[in-house]
Structure 1
Protein backbone atom coordinates (compact mmCIF):
# COMPACT_ATOMS: atom_id res chain seq x y z
CA UNK A 1 0.00 0.00 0.00
CA UNK A 2 2.70 2.51 0.93
CA UNK A 3 4.35 2.17 -2.48
CA UNK A 4 1.53 4.22 -3.96
CA UNK A 5 2.61 7.13 -1.78
CA UNK A 6 6.33 6.52 -1.45
CA UNK A 7 6.87 6.30 -5.21
CA UNK A 8 5.13 9.62 -5.89
CA UNK A 9 7.14 11.97 -8.07
CA UNK A 10 8.89 14.42 -5.69
CA UNK A 11 7.89 17.29 -7.96
CA UNK A 12 4.29 16.73 -6.82
CA UNK A 13 5.06 17.60 -3.20
CA UNK A 14 7.51 20.36 -3.98
CA UNK A 15 6.07 23.71 -2.90
CA UNK A 16 5.62 26.61 -5.27
CA UNK A 17 4.57 30.17 -4.53
CA UNK A 18 2.24 32.19 -6.74
CA UNK A 19 1.30 35.82 -6.46
CA UNK A 20 -2.26 36.84 -7.18
CA UNK A 21 -4.64 39.66 -6.49
CA UNK A 22 -7.46 39.10 -4.01
CA UNK A 23 -9.77 42.00 -3.22
CA UNK A 24 -7.31 44.35 -4.87
CA UNK A 25 -4.39 43.23 -2.72
CA UNK A 26 -1.47 41.27 -4.14
CA UNK A 27 -0.85 38.23 -1.98
CA UNK A 28 1.37 35.18 -2.25
CA UNK A 29 0.19 31.63 -1.73
CA UNK A 30 2.51 28.69 -1.25
CA UNK A 31 1.11 25.25 -2.07
CA UNK A 32 2.50 21.95 -3.23
CA UNK A 33 2.48 21.40 -7.01
CA UNK A 34 -0.14 18.66 -6.69
CA UNK A 35 -2.60 21.18 -5.22
CA UNK A 36 -1.85 23.77 -7.91
CA UNK A 37 -2.65 21.06 -10.49
CA UNK A 38 -5.95 20.23 -8.81
CA UNK A 39 -6.91 23.90 -8.53
CA UNK A 40 -6.15 24.31 -12.24
CA UNK A 41 -8.45 21.35 -13.01
CA UNK A 42 -11.27 22.77 -10.89
CA UNK A 43 -10.86 26.16 -12.57
CA UNK A 44 -10.96 24.61 -16.05
CA UNK A 45 -14.14 22.70 -15.20
CA UNK A 46 -15.70 25.98 -14.04
CA UNK A 47 -14.42 27.95 -17.06
CA UNK A 48 -12.05 30.14 -15.05
CA UNK A 49 -8.37 30.73 -14.58
CA UNK A 50 -6.76 29.39 -11.42
CA UNK A 51 -6.38 32.92 -10.07
CA UNK A 52 -10.06 33.68 -10.74
CA UNK A 53 -11.09 30.48 -8.96
CA UNK A 54 -8.93 31.25 -5.93
CA UNK A 55 -10.28 34.81 -5.71
CA UNK A 56 -13.86 33.48 -5.99
CA UNK A 57 -13.26 30.89 -3.28
CA UNK A 58 -11.82 33.59 -1.03
CA UNK A 59 -14.88 35.81 -1.61
CA UNK A 60 -17.27 32.95 -0.93
CA UNK A 61 -15.58 31.77 2.26
CA UNK A 62 -15.42 35.36 3.51
CA UNK A 63 -19.13 35.83 2.76
CA UNK A 64 -19.97 32.56 4.51
CA UNK A 65 -17.57 32.64 7.49
CA UNK A 66 -16.53 36.28 7.76
CA UNK A 67 -12.87 35.34 8.07
CA UNK A 68 -10.25 33.02 6.64
CA UNK A 69 -7.85 31.80 9.31
CA UNK A 70 -5.55 29.76 7.03
CA UNK A 71 -6.43 30.21 3.37
CA UNK A 72 -3.72 27.84 2.06
CA UNK A 73 -5.10 25.05 4.26
CA UNK A 74 -8.63 25.92 3.12
CA UNK A 75 -7.49 25.48 -0.50
CA UNK A 76 -5.86 22.12 0.26
CA UNK A 77 -9.02 20.87 1.94
CA UNK A 78 -11.10 22.20 -0.98
CA UNK A 79 -8.92 20.17 -3.34
CA UNK A 80 -9.37 16.97 -1.34
CA UNK A 81 -13.13 17.56 -1.14
CA UNK A 82 -13.22 18.06 -4.93
CA UNK A 83 -11.35 14.79 -5.47
CA UNK A 84 -13.63 12.95 -3.05
CA UNK A 85 -16.82 14.14 -4.73
CA UNK A 86 -15.38 13.53 -8.19
CA UNK A 87 -14.68 9.89 -7.36
CA UNK A 88 -17.85 9.30 -5.33
CA UNK A 89 -20.21 6.76 -6.90
CA UNK A 90 -23.37 8.19 -8.41
CA UNK A 91 -26.45 7.53 -6.31
CA UNK A 92 -28.98 6.33 -8.87
CA UNK A 93 -31.83 6.76 -6.39
CA UNK A 94 -31.57 10.55 -6.59
CA UNK A 95 -31.26 10.85 -10.37
CA UNK A 96 -34.42 11.89 -12.23
CA UNK A 97 -35.99 9.11 -14.25
CA UNK A 98 -36.30 9.54 -17.97
CA UNK A 99 -39.70 9.11 -19.54
CA UNK A 100 -40.00 6.47 -22.11
Structure 2
Protein backbone atom coordinates (compact mmCIF):
# COMPACT_ATOMS: atom_id res chain seq x y z
CA UNK A 1 0.00 0.00 0.00
CA UNK A 2 2.78 2.49 0.80
CA UNK A 3 4.10 1.99 -2.74
CA UNK A 4 0.99 3.76 -4.06
CA UNK A 5 1.89 6.85 -2.04
CA UNK A 6 5.68 6.62 -2.22
CA UNK A 7 5.73 6.19 -6.00
CA UNK A 8 3.73 9.37 -6.60
CA UNK A 9 5.18 11.45 -9.43
CA UNK A 10 7.26 14.32 -8.01
CA UNK A 11 5.62 16.70 -10.50
CA UNK A 12 2.30 16.29 -8.67
CA UNK A 13 3.69 17.73 -5.46
CA UNK A 14 5.89 20.38 -7.04
CA UNK A 15 4.83 23.89 -6.09
CA UNK A 16 3.05 26.14 -8.55
CA UNK A 17 2.44 29.82 -7.85
CA UNK A 18 -0.49 31.62 -9.43
CA UNK A 19 -1.38 35.30 -9.29
CA UNK A 20 -4.98 35.99 -8.33
CA UNK A 21 -7.01 39.06 -7.43
CA UNK A 22 -8.78 38.80 -4.08
CA UNK A 23 -11.13 41.65 -3.26
CA UNK A 24 -9.42 43.87 -5.81
CA UNK A 25 -5.90 43.16 -4.54
CA UNK A 26 -3.39 41.17 -6.53
CA UNK A 27 -1.80 38.31 -4.58
CA UNK A 28 0.04 35.08 -5.22
CA UNK A 29 -1.03 31.66 -4.02
CA UNK A 30 1.49 28.83 -3.89
CA UNK A 31 0.09 25.28 -3.84
CA UNK A 32 1.22 21.88 -4.94
CA UNK A 33 0.11 21.11 -8.52
CA UNK A 34 -2.15 18.31 -7.38
CA UNK A 35 -4.21 20.81 -5.34
CA UNK A 36 -4.53 23.14 -8.34
CA UNK A 37 -5.98 20.18 -10.25
CA UNK A 38 -8.57 19.54 -7.56
CA UNK A 39 -9.44 23.25 -7.39
CA UNK A 40 -9.96 23.24 -11.17
CA UNK A 41 -12.44 20.39 -10.79
CA UNK A 42 -14.24 22.03 -7.85
CA UNK A 43 -14.43 25.38 -9.66
CA UNK A 44 -15.79 23.72 -12.82
CA UNK A 45 -18.49 21.99 -10.77
CA UNK A 46 -19.46 25.43 -9.46
CA UNK A 47 -19.52 26.84 -12.99
CA UNK A 48 -16.57 29.15 -12.27
CA UNK A 49 -12.97 29.65 -13.24
CA UNK A 50 -10.38 28.86 -10.57
CA UNK A 51 -9.64 32.55 -9.90
CA UNK A 52 -13.37 33.35 -9.62
CA UNK A 53 -13.94 30.37 -7.31
CA UNK A 54 -11.01 31.31 -5.05
CA UNK A 55 -12.07 34.96 -4.97
CA UNK A 56 -15.66 34.02 -4.12
CA UNK A 57 -14.49 31.60 -1.44
CA UNK A 58 -12.20 34.25 0.05
CA UNK A 59 -15.06 36.76 0.18
CA UNK A 60 -17.32 34.20 1.86
CA UNK A 61 -14.65 33.36 4.45
CA UNK A 62 -14.26 37.06 5.22
CA UNK A 63 -18.03 37.44 5.58
CA UNK A 64 -18.25 34.47 7.97
CA UNK A 65 -14.99 34.84 9.92
CA UNK A 66 -13.97 38.48 9.41
CA UNK A 67 -10.50 37.34 8.35
CA UNK A 68 -8.90 34.59 6.33
CA UNK A 69 -5.88 33.38 8.30
CA UNK A 70 -3.70 30.91 6.41
CA UNK A 71 -5.97 30.97 3.37
CA UNK A 72 -3.63 28.68 1.42
CA UNK A 73 -4.11 25.95 4.01
CA UNK A 74 -7.84 26.59 3.81
CA UNK A 75 -7.67 25.91 0.06
CA UNK A 76 -5.91 22.59 0.71
CA UNK A 77 -8.67 21.67 3.16
CA UNK A 78 -11.30 22.64 0.58
CA UNK A 79 -9.68 20.12 -1.76
CA UNK A 80 -9.76 17.39 0.86
CA UNK A 81 -13.36 18.12 1.83
CA UNK A 82 -14.32 18.02 -1.84
CA UNK A 83 -12.57 14.70 -2.38
CA UNK A 84 -14.05 13.27 0.81
CA UNK A 85 -17.51 14.39 -0.32
CA UNK A 86 -16.94 12.67 -3.66
CA UNK A 87 -16.05 9.47 -1.84
CA UNK A 88 -19.21 9.64 0.26
CA UNK A 89 -21.32 10.49 -2.78
CA UNK A 90 -19.85 7.48 -4.57
CA UNK A 91 -20.56 5.29 -1.56
CA UNK A 92 -24.16 6.54 -1.45
CA UNK A 93 -24.57 5.73 -5.13
CA UNK A 94 -23.18 2.26 -4.50
CA UNK A 95 -25.53 1.78 -1.55
CA UNK A 96 -28.47 2.85 -3.70
CA UNK A 97 -27.42 0.54 -6.51
CA UNK A 98 -26.89 -2.31 -4.10
CA UNK A 99 -30.29 -1.78 -2.53
CA UNK A 100 -31.91 -1.75 -5.93
CA UNK A 101 -30.15 -4.96 -6.92
CA UNK A 102 -31.08 -6.67 -3.65
CA UNK A 103 -34.76 -5.79 -4.04
Tell me, yes or no, whether TM beats 0.5.
yes
SS in structure 2 opposite 1:90? helix
The structural deviation recorded for 1:81 is: 0.4
The structural deviation recorded for 1:56 is: 0.7
With the length of structure 1 as denominator, give the TM-score of the two structures. Answer: 0.88
Post-superposition CA distance 1:9-54 (Å, at most 9, x none): 1110000100010100000000000000000000111111000000
Select the structure that is richer in helix: 2
Matched ranges for 1:77-92 at <5 A: 77-88=77-88, 89-90=91-92
Cross-structure match for 1:36: 36
Which runs of at least 4 in structure 1 moved beyond 3 Å after TM superposition?
none
Aligned residues: 93
The structural deviation recorded for 1:67 is: 0.8
The structural deviation recorded for 1:90 is: 1.7
Stretches of structure 1 that go unaligned for 5 or more consecutive residues are 94-100
Mapped partners of 1:57, 1:12: distance in 2: 24
Mapped partners of 1:40, 1:84: distance in 2: 16
With the length of structure 2 as denominator, give the TM-score of the two structures. Answer: 0.86
Cross-structure match for 1:66: 66
The structural deviation recorded for 1:79 is: 0.3
